[in-house]
Structures are given as structure tokens and as C-alpha cells.
Chains A and B, each alone.
Chain A
Amino acid sequence: MKTPFRIILGLFCLLVAVWLVMPTLVIIPMSFNEKKSLAFPPSGFSWQWYENFFTNPDWLASFFNSLRVAGLVAVAATVIGTLAALGLSRMKHSGAGLLRAILITPMIVPGVVLAIGIYAVYLDYQLVGTTTGFVIAHTMLAIPFVIIAVSASLEVFDVRLETAAASLGANRFTTFRTVTLPLIAPGILSGLLFAFVTSFDEIIVALFITSPYLKTLPVQIFTSITRDADPTVTAVGTIIFIATTLIISAGLIISSRSKRS
């Protein structure tokens, strides 16, 4: 490769990298802004937006709602999605491909169309603004991510290990618990994280099925941006970013450790 070409390529990619990362990097300094404005650059230094987040009941309530919903969704989607991934991996006929494609459609269906449909159904069944309603919708949206993550770890899983365990007299449940489960655990764990993040971050369906009594954090962020441009959102954004970075790093460390052992 010629050097001028390399330089142009490098500069272009640097620009793309800046474009990708800049929105994240801009939020963090903005969260320490002294003024109540979203103008860049921020001036001064203050913790007031963090303080506001931890003292304002609206923000706190929506945060705990999101945590509760995402926690329930992570468990439900991981169990249902892992079962589905196991079933799909053991299906031998061509139906498996079709079934997998069907189960992954929630990722592709336009969010607004899904949202108005869910809203219509929830109005009939009094599920608007309920935890049950949120958990059902978000679990459905999170299952594809669990299926993809668990399927990926099942693909590298050696089925002969199960046969070996069975030939040594283990019954199917013992085999699953002591052989299969530990080996696909990293996939299940990353599915769990994906499901949690999917629910915690989901906004379009949440905007439709929300109520004054049950708002999730993204809905609160959205209304705050559209109504009053409250800089507290920058503090919330920074907290979420740091929290997710920690969770994902932990996930990466766990999966790399289990790969080594």
C-alpha cells in the first residue's frame, strides 16, 4: 500500500471514529455544567444535575421503574429465549430456519407500528401503565437478542460432550445441568445483559403504554428533552453510560475467563 493512500485512509477513519464516539464524549462534560442550558461548551463546574437526579422524585421513580421492569424482563426473556435457542439447535428438519426467522422478527418490525398495536390491545385489556404490560412487551422485544446470543454459544458447543455424559449414565436433566448449562453459560449471561439493556433502553413502545403512574427512564428523558430541556438528562446519560460500561466490561471479563478455563 502506498503511503499517501494510507494517510488518507487513516484520516478518514479517524473522522468516522470521532463521529461515532463524539456524542458520548459530549454528554459527560455537559453534565457538570453550572448553567441551566444545553449550550456547548459548558461553563463552571457543579454537581447540581446529579443532585437533582437523586433528589427529584420524578427522576428517581422512573429510574426504579426501569430497573424493576428490566430486571423482570431479563429473567423472563433469558429463560424463554434460552429454551427456544436449545430447541432450535436440536431441530433437524428445515422448519428450524423458518421458526428462527419468525422468532427474530421483533427486531425488524417498525417500532411505531408495533407500539400502536400493543397500545390498542392494552387499552382493551387494561394493561396500559402496568408493570405486567411493560414486562410482556419488553420480553417479546428482548427474546431475539437472547436467542442470538445463546445460539452463538450453542454453535461452538460440542454435542459429543452430552453423549459422553449420557453414556456414563447421567440422565438428560443431570446432563443439561452439569454439562450443557455451564458450557453455554457465557452465552446465557450475555443474553441476560442484552435483554436487560433492551428493556432499560426501550422507548417507542414505552412512550405509548406509559401512564402518569408508570413512566420508565427513557420516557422521562424524552419528555424532559422535548418539554423543558432540563440538563438533568446529561447527568442521567452519564450515569447510564458509566453503569452500562461497567456491566459490559464485567460481562466481557467473565466470558473471557470462562473461555480460558
Chain B
Amino acid sequence: MSQTSQISTAGGENPRPAGGAPASRRRPWLAAYPSLLAMPALLLLIAAMGYPLLTVTLRSFSDPAWGLQNYVWFFSTPVNVTVLWRTFSIAAWVTIVCVIAAYPYAYLMTAVGPRMRLILILCVLVPFWVSGVVRTLAWVILLQDSGIINSLIRLLGFDGVKLIRTQTGVVIGMAQVLLPFMILPLYSVMRGIDLRLVQAARSLGARPSRAFLQVYLPLSLPGVFAGAIIVFILSLGFYITPALLGGPRSTMLSTLVQSQVLSLLNWGRGGAMGVVLLVATFVLLALAAPLMRQRHKQASRS
């Protein structure tokens, strides 16, 4: 960068000409290009995330030989396709459970007084700051065959249920971990809904259920979408919870990637699975982006 160009940007940016001191000569430069401040972060991201992801992608096409053989193998092996399908179905179940649990909870948060609201918020945030591994350990204790949940079921006179090492157990554990990601965006949208609109519907003769379905529900849907997309995407990549709570019949794609790479040292196949997971994540994000943007527009309009 030449001396003159610095001074000319300084003149354009600041009515006072930049002084002769060396310190002040540098500031208009940063002021003109604030994006430079983000460069260290971007460079680290490229080195620590971009380069590794590129390596994985390249290896999926080149290990052991160049070509598509790893992808052909992935989609032609029934076990892999089953696991891929299962990964999506577990993610869908987790999302459904989260929506059902979060909607009334977030609604209650908007309807109660400040003290009760603080308690409800704390219940959401406490799991957030308990270590993920420790929380999964707690689920192992709770879900095991002699665990609390099974004891309760037996106390009520029913037969015990197999929860640990099953898909149900995985969904229960994952949904608990991800529920805050559903409740918080939903709450922020619901808090912004003008309740007078519901009152207006009621005063015009709508029954409570109809006022809810036709006025409140549509207004809260952006929050449901935002939360559901985040929960679904995060579920796809889950590794620890399925590894500890699941069994061979609830394996998710992450576990398969891990075993291909760490146990079988099969970088090409593991890489191909990783790329499938990555592409699925980004396709979903791309599909969800317009929905999210709409939500922002609505928020800024109100």
C-alpha cells in the first residue's frame, strides 16, 4: 500500500487530514477496511476447518484410487443406506419430540410472571452448562434396565421396558440435549406476538381453539421452523449420545464414519460418509435459509 493512497483514503474518510504521527497514519487504513479485523478469524477458520474438510473430501475421491468407488460402495451397501435412513429418521423423531415439548413450554414462559419465568429459563439453561459427556452418563444411569425410569414403570405395575441400547433411549437423550435449541428461538418469537390479536379474534366471536389455530399458531410458526431446523441439523451430526446410549441397532452415520477411519483406517470410505453427512447438512441449511430470512424480515417489520 503506497503512502499516497493511505492519505487519500484518510482524506475521504475524515474531514480533518490525518496528522503526521505514525500511530495516526495507520488508523484510517483500518477504518477504511474494517473487514481486515476479521481476517485472523477467517485465516484460522481456513486453516483449522477449511483445509481439514478439503482433505476429507479429496480423500473420499482419491483413497485408495481416484474415482467414485467410495461413493458407489456407500450407496450400494445396504447397511450404509439403512444407517443413513436411520440417521434421518432419528433426527426427525428428535425434532418432533422437541417441537411437542418446547411449544407449550415456551408458551408458558410468555404467560407467567417474571419470577416463574426465571425458574423456567433456569430449567432450560442448567442442562446447557452441564458437560455433554456427563449429561449422557446421567442418561445411562436413568435409562438402564434397573434405572429410575424402569423402577417407576414397575412401581406402576407394568413390565420394565428396554430403553438403553435402543433407538428410544437415543431419542430421549438427544432430545433432552437439544431441547434448549428449540425452546429459546420459539420463546423469542412468541414473546413478540401481540396478544391483542388473539383477543381481537376472541371478541369477534372465535372460539379459543380457533383463535389459537388461526391467529396465534401461524404467528409462532417462524420460531418453530427456526428451532426445528437447528435441532434437525445438530441431530444429524450427533456422536456421543448415540455412542453411549445406543446399541448396534441404533447406529448413526457419525459412528460409522468414526469406525471406518479409526478402526479400519479406511480414509476413503470414511471420508465419503463424512462428505454425505456434510452435504446433507448444507443442503438443509440452504433450504432453510429463505425461511430464516423471512423470519428476520418479519421481526424487523414489527
Among A87, A110, A118, A233, which residue has its beta carbon within 8 angstroms of that of B236? A110
Q: Which of A172-199 contact B (CB under 8 A)?
A: 172-173, 197
Chain A positions within 8 Å of B36 at CB level: 87
Known contacts A86-B37, A140-B44, A241-B130; A117 and B56 CB within 8 A of each other: yes
- Binding site secondary structure of chain B: helix
Q: For A114, what are the chain B residues with a Cβ–Cβ distance below 8 Å? A: 49, 52-53
- A118-160 at interface with B (beta carbon < 8 Å): 118-121, 136-137, 139-140, 143, 147
B137 pairs with A113, CB closer than 8 A: no
Docked-complex contact B41 and A110, CB < 8 angstroms: no
Residues of B within 8 A of A103 (CB): 38, 41-42, 45
B138 touches A10 (CB 8 A): no
- Asked if A27 contacts B137 (CB within 8 A), the reply is yes
Which candidate, B77-85, B144-152, B155-163, is the interface stretch facing chain A? B144-152
CB of A83 within 8 A of chain B?
Answer: yes
Q: In the complex, which residues of chain A have a beta carbon less than 8 angstroms from the beta carbon of B129? A: 197, 241, 244-245, 248
B234 partner residues in chain A, CB cutoff 8 A: 108
B257 — nearest CB in chain A belongs to which residue?
A: A112
Cβ of B239: which chain A residues have Cβ within 8 Å of it?
A: 111-112, 204
Known contacts A9-B104, A20-B124, A171-B23; A136 and B138 CB within 8 A of each other: no
- B24, B59, B133, B140: residue with the most chain A Cβ atoms closer than 10 Å: B133
Q: How far is the CB of B76 from chain A (nearest CB, A)?
A: 22
A87 touches B130 (CB 8 A): no
Is B20 interfacial (CB-CB < 8 Å)? no
Which residues from 94 to 120 on chain B have a C-beta closer than 8 Å to any C-beta of chain A?
A: 101-102, 104-105, 107-108, 111, 120
A23 touches B34 (CB 8 A): no
Binds A, one of B65-73, B186-194, B216-224, B277-285: B277-285
Residue of B nearest to A8 (CB): B104
Q: Does B240 touch A at the CB level, under 8 Å?
A: yes
Contact between B133 and A84 (Cβ–Cβ < 8 Å)?
A: no
Our pick among B39, B40, B59, B237 for the contact of A112 (Cβ within 8 Å) is: B237
A contacts with B: majority SS? helix
- Inter-chain CA distance A200–B130, complex, in Å, is 11
A236 touches B134 (CB 8 A): yes
Verify if B214 is at the interface (C-beta below 8 Å from A).
no
Q: Does A71 contact B (CB under 8 A)?
A: no
The size of the chain B interface, using a CB distance under 8 A, is 83
Q: How far is the CA of A91 from the CA of B37 in the complex (A)?
A: 10
Q: List 25 A-B contacts (CB under 8 A).
A: A2-B208, A20-B124, A20-B180, A22-B142, A23-B176, A26-B148, A84-B40, A88-B37, A103-B42, A108-B285, A110-B274, A111-B237, A112-B254, A113-B237, A113-B277, A116-B270, A120-B55, A120-B56, A121-B55, A137-B48, A140-B45, A143-B44, A171-B23, A197-B129, A244-B130
**Beyond A203-B240, A245-B129, 19 additional pairs, beta carbon < 8 A:** A16-B105, A16-B179, A26-B148, A27-B130, A27-B138, A84-B37, A103-B38, A109-B278, A109-B281, A116-B271, A117-B49, A118-B48, A121-B55, A137-B48, A140-B44, A173-B27, A204-B239, A237-B137, A240-B130
Interface residues of A (CB under 8 A from B): 1-2, 9-10, 12-13, 16-17, 19-24, 26-27, 30, 38-40, 80-81, 83-84, 86-91, 95-96, 99, 102-103, 105-106, 108-121, 136-137, 139-140, 143, 147, 171-173, 197, 200-201, 203-204, 208, 218, 221-222, 225-226, 233-234, 236-237, 240-241, 244-245, 248
